[in-house]
């Protein structure tokens, strides 16, 4: 099966993609394009999957750069292949031939670009990272490389939708303590539960940070098991592990 790659016209001249799970070599609960080295999938199979992604982006496998994601607001500049993966959740580069990639399974993959400046970024933004400022930190790191906020385009890829994202009252309390305006992203659910709009919150943070354009591809990871991995869906199904989707952009 060939790879399925979701792209966004807004990212214009940059080769990029939000890769679905289709077209990979993994099997079982990981069936498809599992690119998560941190999963219990066979390491050699994950390497094959990542090589297929690198080939689609027309870069060498070691130029498909990922970091050790820790749900932080930390961002690192990248100028070439990394000998060690730092703890971070955002990356930026102005180096041609480098592809920045993030792994997700419900969290937001966010690809960013300033075409005029030739600067790109990628961020892994779950609720914690988004609340703590990883999107703003990625934008600021791009500005340090020569981008300007109003020229930056940001696209949120497949992520868990509000319909599928039930959270407890403690999360609402945390968000309200951080910023009372964030209450708009919580809808009443069953009992004391709430439904959290993660991509809506991400768009709000991006636009408030001053980017020229921000959009979501409107794909829900939880609702479409044939195309996407989902941590929450796997947990509800009682599965031992889950695959990781990859999203990447290159200069």
**Whole-number pLDDT of residue 94:** 98
Class of residue 87 by CB neighbours under 10 A (exposed 0-12, middle 13-18, buried 19+): exposed
188 domain residue, yes or no: no
206 domain residue, yes or no: no
59 domain residue, yes or no: yes
199 domain residue, yes or no: no
Residue 127: give its domain's CATH number: 3.60.140.10
Q: Side by side, which strands form the sheet with 194-196?
A: 166-167, 194-196, 186-188
124 domain residue, yes or no: yes
> How many domains are contained in the chain?
1
190 domain residue, yes or no: no
Q: 64-75, pLDDT tens digit by residue?
A: 999 999 999 999
**Whole-number pLDDT of residue 56:** 97
57 domain residue, yes or no: yes
Residue-number span of the structural domain to which 133 is assigned = 5-160+216-250
**Whole-number pLDDT of residue 12:** 85
Give the distance from CA 102 to its chain's centroid. Answer: 5
244 domain residue, yes or no: yes
CB 222 within 8 A of CB 232: yes
**Whole-number pLDDT of residue 131:** 97
β-pair type (16-19, 5-6): antiparallel
Q: What are phi and psi of 6, to 5 degrees?
A: -90, 125
Termini Cα distance of the chain: 27
What's the CA gap between 215 and 226, in Å, rounded?
Answer: 23
Question: What are the residue ranges in the chain where pLDDT is below 70?
Answer: 1
């Amino acid at each position: 099966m060939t790879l399925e790659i979701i792209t966004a016209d807004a990212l214009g001249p940059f080769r990029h993609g939000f890769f679905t799970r289709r077209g990979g070599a993994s099997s079982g609960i990981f069936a498809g394009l599992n690119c998560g080295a941190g999963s219990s999938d066979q390491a050699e199979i994950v390497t094959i999957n990542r090589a297929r992604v690198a080939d689609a982006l027309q870069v060498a496998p070691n130029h498909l750069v990922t970091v050790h994601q820790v749900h932080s607001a930390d961002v690192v500049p990248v100028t070439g292949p990394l000998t060690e993966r730092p703890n971070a959740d955002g990356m930026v580069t102005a180096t041609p031939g480098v592809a920045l990639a993030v792994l997700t399974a419900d969290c937001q993959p966010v690809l960013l670009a300033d075409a005029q400046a030739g600067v790109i970024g990628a961020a892994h933004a779950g609720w914690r990272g988004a609340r703590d400022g990883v999107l703003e930190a990625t934008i600021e790191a791009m500005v340090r490389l020569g981008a300007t906020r109003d020229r930056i385009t940001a696209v949120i890829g497949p992520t868990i939708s509000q319909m599928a994202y039930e959270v407890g009252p403690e999360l609402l309390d945390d968000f309200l303590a951080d910023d009372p305006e964030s209450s708009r992203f919580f809808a009443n659910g069953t009992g004391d539960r709430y439904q959290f709009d993660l991509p809506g919150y991400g768009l709000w943070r991006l636009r408030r940070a001053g980017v020229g354009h921000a959009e979501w591809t409107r794909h829900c990871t939880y609702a479409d098991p044939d195309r996407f991995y989902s941590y929450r869906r796997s947990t509800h199904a009682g599965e031992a592990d889950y695959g990781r989707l990859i999203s990447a952009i290159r200069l």
